[in-house]
Amino acid sequence: MDTVKEIKKDFFINMGPQHPSTHGVLRIVLNVEGEKVLSSETVLGYAHRGVEKMAESKTYIQMMPVMDRFDYVSSMLFEWGYVGALEKALGVKVPERAEYIRVIMGELNRIASHLLWVGAFLLDLGAFTPFLWVFDARERIMDMFEEVTGQRMTNNYFRIGGVKDDLTPQFFKMLQDFLKMIRERMKDTEDLIESIIFLERVKDIGFISKQDVIDYGLTGPVARGSGFSYDLRKNEPYSVYDKIDFEIPVGEKGDCYDRYKVRMKEVIQSVRIVEQALNLLPDGPYTEKSPKVVKLPEGEYYNAVETSRGLLGVYIVSDGSTKPARFKLRDPAFSNLSILDKLLPGNKISDVVAILGSIDVVIPEIDR
């Protein structure tokens, strides 16, 4: 024996693209030593469809159903961002009733998205039951969407100058039932979730400082979990959010638990918004007469809305034709995911799923 090979202690683990807890086709290459993560590399692009390029060959109206297919769990909020940009460009005034309908549907969609997240997050941590408890509630939202928009997930409901259809009497009945049960269900779910095991798993894990929030451009519950109170609905109120009273929940420390808590509180705030919007809902037309052929005047247009994951910016460059010359999204999950590689090193493999889950990513939105 002249040379003894140096024993390599670390090895690589491919988490994804086929893995139960990467929520689709995200791939994380982990360099681990035993259970400890030394470094990580996030690999994207497995669901890349080139949608931004595709938009250049689609008319403005044809692009509308595609907007549903970025973030399929809060699709109407994405429609809102896009339709808002078109309305800004065309100078269309949206009727008041349509604005309130948009707020109601948008907030219901936010609730649905957060409920799905809570379930999936707990599934990552190994608890199956909360997933189905919140899905029972989410199913009622889906039924309401089916009643009003005609589809459960990819709704294609927003139109330039309003919405596609008015709310139905059946919808109001369903909504009342839902509002009655949701608070109790959220309380039950929260009580079940917050056992000592859950607290141990998520508290003091994956700290994001306020400086990180600014450096990485984080938005949404991830930023608010770190105490960075930035919500477009409050900071730059669009639609009728300035007439509605609601709070922006913020966390203190910026760990996984704070991000979880912020989302749970946001659900309750969204319920409050829906209740108020329901009382304020005026009579009137639900949509403005919109042109059959949409041609944007030459120029650049930008609109931002607060989706369930954070700030969505829609940027359109028009050359005056029926198709955009350039289409760009600034989507929340992509920016939020960028901090993952900074958070993972030093944690255990079990924490990887907790941290990734707490960031809340939707892959089609990231890969586009």
Partner 1 sequence: MEALSGSIFFNIILSIIGVMVVFTINALFAVWLERKVSAHIQLRLGPMEVGFHGAIQSAADGIKLIGKEIITPKGVDKKLFPLAPYLVFFPSLLMFVVIPFSDKLQVQDLNIGLLYFFSISCIATIGIFMAGWASNNKYSLMGAVRSIAQSIAYEIPIILSILGVIIIAQSLKLSDIVAKQNIWYIVIQPVAFIVYIIAAIAELNRTPFDIPEAESELVAGFHTEYSGMRFAIFFMAEYTNMFLVAAMATTLFLGGWRGPILPPVVWFFIKTYAIVFLIIWVRWAFPRLRPDQLMNFCWKFLLPLALLNLLITTFLLKLF
Partner 2 sequence: MKASYFEKVKIGIDTIVKGLLLSFSYLLKKPSTLQYPHEKKVIAERYRGSIRLKKNEAGELKCIACGNCERICPASAIKMTTFTPEGEKKKKLSEYYVDLGLCIYCGLCVDSCPVDAIEHSNVYEVSEVEKDKLVLRLDVLGEKDAK
What is the binding site for partner 1 (CB under 8 A)?
11, 13, 19-21, 35, 122-129, 131-133, 136, 192-193, 195, 197-198, 200-201, 348-353
Looking at the Cβ atoms of 60 and 131, the one nearer to partner 1 is 131
Q: How many residues bind partner 2 (CB under 8 A)?
A: 37
Partner whose footprint covers residue 128, from partner 1, partner 2, none (CB < 5 to 8 Å by kind) = partner 1
Partner whose footprint covers residue 147, from partner 1, partner 2, none (CB < 5 to 8 Å by kind) = partner 2
Stretch in the footprint of partner 2 (CB under 8 A) among 44-52, 74-82, 185-193, 216-224 = 185-193
Partner whose footprint covers residue 229, from partner 2, partner 1, none (CB < 5 to 8 Å by kind) = none
Q: Can residue 133 be called a binding residue for partner 2 (CB under 8 A)?
A: yes
Partner whose footprint covers residue 125, from partner 1, partner 2, none (CB < 5 to 8 Å by kind) = partner 1
DSSP letter assigned to residue 227: T
Asked if residues 119 and 101 have their Cβ atoms less than 8 Å apart, the reply is no
Partner whose footprint covers residue 58, from partner 2, partner 1, none (CB < 5 to 8 Å by kind) = partner 2
Partner whose footprint covers residue 20, from partner 1, partner 2, none (CB < 5 to 8 Å by kind) = partner 1
State residue 155 phi and psi, 5-degree precision: -75, -40
As a whole number of angstroms, the distance between CA 328 and CA 316 comes to 7
DSSP string for residues in 42-99: EE--TT---HHHHGGGS-TTTHHHHHTTTSTTSHHHHHHHHHHHHHHHHTPPPPHHHH
Stretch in the footprint of partner 2 (CB under 8 A) among 31-39, 135-143, 211-219, 243-251 = 135-143
Looking at the Cβ atoms of 158 and 334, the one nearer to partner 2 is 158
Nearest-approach distance from CB 38 to partner 2, in angstroms: 25
Residue 74: C-alpha distances to residues 109, 146, 255, 311 (Å): 5, 14, 24, 13
- 3-state SS, 305-350, equals EEECCEEEEEEEEECCCCCEEEEEEECHHHHHHCCHHHHCCCCEHH
Nearest-approach distance from CB 168 to partner 2, in angstroms: 8
Helix (H, G, I), strand (E, B) or coil at 294: coil
Nearest-approach distance from CB 287 to partner 1, in angstroms: 38
As a whole number of angstroms, the distance between CA 107 and CA 189 comes to 20
> Could you tell me which residues are beta bridge partners of residue 327?
316
- Tell me which of 21, 31, 156, 338 binds partner 2, using CB under 8 A: 156
Q: How does 304-338 read in b/e, with b if 16+ C-beta sit within 10 Å? A: bbbbbbbbbbbbbbbeeeebbeebebbbbbbbbbb
As a whole number of angstroms, the distance between CA 352 and CA 128 comes to 18
Looking at the Cβ atoms of 244 and 329, the one nearer to partner 2 is 329
**Amino acid at site 281:** L
Nearest-approach distance from CB 175 to partner 1, in angstroms: 21
Inter-axis angle of helices 169-193 and 129-149, to 10 degrees?
Answer: 170
Partner whose footprint covers residue 312, from partner 1, partner 2, none (CB < 5 to 8 Å by kind) = none
- Tell me which of 21, 38, 46, 146 binds partner 2, using CB under 8 A: 146
Partner whose footprint covers residue 346, from partner 1, partner 2, none (CB < 5 to 8 Å by kind) = none
Helix (H, G, I), strand (E, B) or coil at 214: helix
Residues that bind partner 2 (CB under 8 A): 58-59, 61-66, 68, 129, 133, 136, 139, 143, 146-151, 154, 156, 164-165, 168, 170, 188, 191-192, 194-196, 199-200, 203-204, 292
